[in-house]
A and B are shown apart, each in its own frame.
Chain A
Amino acid sequence: MVNTYLPKDEVNAFTSQVLTRGSTGQDVKELQSRLKFIGFFKGKVDGVFGWGTYWSLRTFQKEFGMKVDGVAGPKLKEKLVKATKNYKASGTASNTNTNTNMNTNKSNNIVSKITKTSNSSNKNNNKKQVENAPNGYTNNDIKLMANAVYGESRGEPYIGQVAVAAVILNRLSSSSFPNSISGIIYQPGAFTAVADGQINLTPNANAKKAVLDAINGWDPTTGCIYYYNPKTATNKWIRKRPKILTIGEHIFCK
């Protein structure tokens, strides 16, 4: 949980990392809060370097006579820290005062203990801090899809999980299916994992990764909208659909 934050020197709360649009993490939070502190940034401090952060960073660069490129490198961070001398971080992770360091360590210990206990059951938890979702999707969409993918294909190879996620997305753009992710997943009888309640199992990190891959454009099935397990499926109709490929136990078809 603390490992994303590696203070390099006492004065500067930033790490040495160069931040660009799309970056996430504690460093971005620091950047956003400092920009917000001097009124350049108006959005929410969420740790995701989005367009809002990008424009406000550019305005800052323009106003301070720097090269306007929307990239937060070491020079910019130095200038920003100087411009925000009175800035005090509210979070424990970005405290720069040596006096409070002990407290910080203590609370960090507590935090790591808490995460340790919950970590044993689920690796996902240490990602709670900053969650980035692809354009057009919310984190809840991703969670719902990860649940469905895990319930449907947790015994499958990774690529088979990406394929199941891709089928859900292909249904989204198909004229024969509902127009929302929840509509597709909860369509009565569409997925066995939904019917028998396996969708409510807690997915592992792989299922979520597979969903993100599919959303970001990876589709191993080249546009399939059905799949079945030839060992258990007895429905004739689905067996007659044009088959595209086999991954693990599943045959994917159009």
Chain B
Amino acid sequence: MKNAIMIGALSVALIGTGYWGYTKHRDLQEMHNQAENSYQRAFNELTYDVDLLHDKIGATLAMNSKASLSPALADVWRLSIESKSDIAQLPLKFLPFDKTQAFLTKIGNFSYRTAVRDLEKEPLTDEEYKTLKAIYKKSESVQNGLRNVQSDIIDKDLSWIDVQTVSAQKEAPRDNVIINGFKHVEQTKSTVDQDFGPTFTTGPEQSKELKELKGEKISESEAKKIAKFYFPIKNYKDIAVNKSLDGSKEPFYSVSMEHKNPQGDSYMEITETGGHPLFFITNRDIKKQQISLEDAGKSGSSYLKKQKYTDMEIYDSSQYDTIGVFQFVKTVNDVRIYPESIQLKVALDNGKVIGFNAKSYVISNHKRNIPNPKLTKAQARKKVNPNVEVQEERLAILLNDLNKEVLCYEFIGTLGDDTYDIYVNAMTGEEEKVKKL
């Protein structure tokens, strides 16, 4: 009798566990399918969008009327962005597909700039037609490569989840049909390092790079000396200097210092050539606010003066809890030179500088002749939307979208409840930039 009860209880438990295991498995399978489906959808949309992209570029080549060319180019722009967002949804970790993505972005930039241009006044140049033809051809090879992968996936029932697991594996031979297919597309792309002309390759990416610097090379111990001169906390437990690795075009030293009192650490980067300080950050606990943002700004100004940065003026400040962040800009003869800017972080407990960033200053600082504006202030102001109530105006040098320095009139004005920063080119009268503040 006892045995029978035992057997009964155990079989109930067994059936229970079995059922539980089955539902778990089913749930897992369902999630698995969902993930697979969203990958499949992203991939199929990618092939579709690239197909369409190729066709649209072809259509622009055949068009004669400028009236239809602009919308077609706008379509190319839209499709290139969409293809990029499709790629972003695929599990391509460490899979070399960055060149294809860069190619798509550049098509986007190119088509955007040409689409928004007044093609009646400024039609496509021969160079630009050549570029269009070239990207037409090259987008075809991307299209074909993706089409091949697509038919492999459909014919052989391949799974994207497998790609995910394969690329996560450590030493595994990465022999996967999808991965190989993508590699193939990417390799045809190295022939596809398309030259989009000088105006389309420069962008925000390049402005972050250090330009070639002039001057004597400094040694490790000189780097240490410079760091000690800059760090507002002078005492230290430990100081270490490292050098950048061989991939850096313009080598630099990094100096780290550990402080005892107050506890914290500072880190600074200094270029080897010329010994230019790029930035430093001090990390320490910041106590209750004792100093107003305004006084902190004054403390920052005198710090810069002490470090021999002249003609620097605060143009923006913000408070984050107990830290003030200040934007300084070089101002010569009342002209603000925005590329030569320095950021400072000031602790609001004691007013000491805890951060300094002069990278763009180091990149842009040089003797310059500021030309005389061709437009008067009044003429430039007429170019600003008449609904904007201008509150402040001045001359300024700005780095525009093409990474070129241009002399502008800067107008700060209000429209409704919002404030706008508007730059009008002082030579051509073009609206270079409009920013909502």
A246 touches B242 (CB 8 A): yes
B343 partner residues in chain A, CB cutoff 8 A: 216-218
B273 within 8 A of A: no
Main secondary structure of the interface of A (DSSP, over half): loop
**Do residues B208 and A173 form an inter-chain contact, with CB atoms below 8 A?**
yes
Partner-binding segment picked from B3-11, B67-75, B124-132, B245-253: B245-253
Q: Which residues of chain A are within 8 angstroms of B414 by Cβ–Cβ distance?
A: 51, 55
B98 at the interface (CB under 8 A from A): yes
Question: Chain B's interface: helix, strand, loop or mixed, by majority?
Answer: mixed
- Assess whether B102 is in contact with A176, with CB atoms less than 8 Å apart: yes
- Give A189's nearest chain B residue, CB to CB: B93
B152 interface contact, C-beta 8 A: no
> Residues of B within 8 Å of A, CB-based: how many?
75
Contact present for A19 and B281 (CB under 8 Å): no
Q: Which residues of A contact B419 (CB under 8 A)?
A: 51-52, 55
- List the B side residues contacting A17 at CB < 8 Å: 292
Q: How many cross-chain pairs have Cβ atoms below 8 Å apart between A and B? A: 180
Residues of A211-249 contacting chain B, CB below 8 A: 212-213, 216-220, 222-223, 234-235, 237-238, 241-247
Assign chain A's interface to a size class. 35 or more
Whether A21 pairs with B85 at a CB distance below 8 angstroms is: no
Instruction: Kindly identify which residue among A209, A212, A235 contacts B94, using a CB–CB cutoff of 8 Å.
Output: A235
**A43 to B98, Cβ gap below 8 A?**
no
Q: Which residue of B lies closest to A176 (CB)?
A: B98
- Interface locus among A77-85, A99-107, A114-122, A177-185: A177-185
Q: A222-B248, A235-B94 are in contact. Are A175 and B105 (CB under 8 A)?
A: yes
Residues in A neighbouring B245, C-beta threshold 8 A: 243-246, 251
Is A20 a contact partner of B293 (Cβ separation < 8 A)?
yes
Interface residues of A in 150-186 (CB under 8 A from B): 157-159, 162, 170, 173-179, 183
Tell me if A254 is interfacial: C-beta within 8 Å of chain B. Answer: yes
Bound form: Cα–Cα A240–B94 in Å: 11
Q: Which residues of A contact B265 (CB under 8 A)?
A: 157-158
Are A244 and B248 closer than 8 Å at their CB atoms? Answer: yes
B170 CB contacts on chain A under 8 angstroms:
234
Find out whether the CB atom of B246 lies under 8 angstroms from the CB atom of A243: yes
Residues of chain B from 79 to 132 with CB closer than 8 A to chain A in the complex: 81, 84-85, 88-96, 98-99, 101-102, 105-106, 109
